[in-house]
Amino acid sequence: MSPEGYGPRWHQRLTESLLSLHALGRRAWLALLGIAVGCAAVVALLSIGQGAARESERLFQGLGSDWMVARLMPQASHPGSSMEAMDLAGLPEAVRMAAPLALAMADVQREGVVTTAPVAGSTSALAEMLALRTTEGRLLSVLDQGSAHVLIGAELAARLEARVADHLQVGRYLYQVVGILAPRVYNPLLPLTVDDALFMPLAGLVRMSADVQPSVVLAIGRDRQHMPEAAAALSEVLRARLPNQRIDVQLAEQLLEGMAQQSALFDWLLAGLGGSALLIGGVGVMNVMLMTVAERRREIGVRMAIGARPRDIAWLFLLEALWLAGCGAVLGALAGVLLAWGLSWVSAWPFHLAPWSLALGIGSALCTGVFFGLHPALSAARLQPLQALRDD
């Protein structure tokens, strides 16, 4: 028989290695479980990370690429913004509209029901910029700037059981509800949640608390193709009107780019955590295979004595490790997909399966099986027949 035709066929090797694993019983299942847990961690963590990143990007992209956020940071030992400086009339041509935003926390009371809520003060332009809608009543207008009128978010209205025309006590002042806002999706550019907030004219908030000053200016550019120029023009105007404050203007596109970079770093971190779990499973495979080689020394000696080559012995044990890794990878991939789907469902995120996470999870599991199974297989192949047949 030619050397090429010598030795067992591949289907015989696969069948024999599978039967050997079956004889191991619980030890084989424990090693397989370790690989499955590691593969499931890789697939689930990467898919969850991708789903979270997609959800965050969706929230930001819903704002449009023409948004700008100017953050006002008072310099040390300098007073805050004046109301005159916050009159944003005469904006640059590149800026379509803008609205200042001041925030405070206050106790809001209605007929004995008290809750703490964020209070936002701004101009009537804010409602147009945020596309606010009411389920009852109306929005605040320019005519409300000197009045004690407020808008309340849907969640806050439900907690207070408030309706249009009700009176709310905010701090020491009494305000009348002129509108209840429709429920809104969370806006990551805003420093508050619209549904839980109370809105009033900027002058009213400053009158309620003299220490409160606008900390943010929201703006929308006129041309999406020239947003950097619009941001520079807005920054220049605000610096001229607010010389004692540091101005930091951010574009929605810049925030998206930063999120993409953070998402990539987060994916690598999650992949590292999953890889660590996979390495632990690989160590389990190696321990099982080393114990198997030690227990089957006499069998190895008999095989070599009747003509088995070292590579036949090596393939026998390497295929056992590959069976463990392959079956563990398949089970782990399925478990990882189910885990990612379950966490997405609990978190109310749209489920997103990253196809490359399956390839990475299964591929890394197989590579782990080869890496940790190679040493026991080579150790078995290097045994001498007389040494292997010797009784311990």
Cα distances from 30 to residues 219, 282, 283, 317, in angstroms, run: 59, 11, 12, 17
Q: Is residue 70 part of a domain?
A: no
Q: Is residue 35 part of a domain?
A: yes
- By the 10 Å C-beta count (0-12 exposed, 13-18 middle, 19+ buried), 371 is classed as middle
Instruction: Tell me which of 194, 219, 243 is where a domain ends.
Output: 243
pLDDT per residue of the chain (392 residues) written in tens, 0 to 9? 445 556 667 777 777 777 776 666 777 777 778 788 888 887 877 777 777 666 666 665 555 567 788 888 876 555 555 544 556 666 778 888 888 888 888 899 998 888 999 999 888 888 888 888 999 999 998 888 878 899 999 999 999 999 999 999 988 889 999 999 999 877 766 778 889 999 999 888 877 776 777 888 888 888 777 788 888 888 888 888 877 788 888 777 666 666 667 666 766 776 777 777 777 777 877 877 777 777 777 777 777 777 778 788 888 878 878 888 888 888 888 888 888 888 778 776 777 777 777 887 888 888 887 888 777 878 877 777 766 666 54
* Alpha-carbon dihedral sign for residues 186, 187, 193, 197: negative
The whole domain housing 170 covers 79-243
- Indicate if 41 and 104 belong to the same structural domain: no
Instruction: Tell me which of 211, 243, 275 is where a domain ends.
Output: 243
- Indicate if 112 and 193 belong to the same structural domain: yes
Q: Is residue 219 part of a domain?
A: yes
Question: For the chain, how many structural domains are there in total?
Answer: 2
Structure pTM? 0.56
pLDDT value for 139: 92
pLDDT value for 256: 65
Q: Is residue 4 part of a domain?
A: no
For 296-309, where are the alpha helices, taking DSSP H only?
297-305
- Indicate if 167 and 142 belong to the same structural domain: yes
Instruction: Tell me which of 214, 243, 272 is where a domain ends.
Output: 243
- Indicate if 196 and 275 belong to the same structural domain: no
Cα distances from 42 to residues 54, 272, 283, 365, in angstroms, run: 18, 8, 17, 10
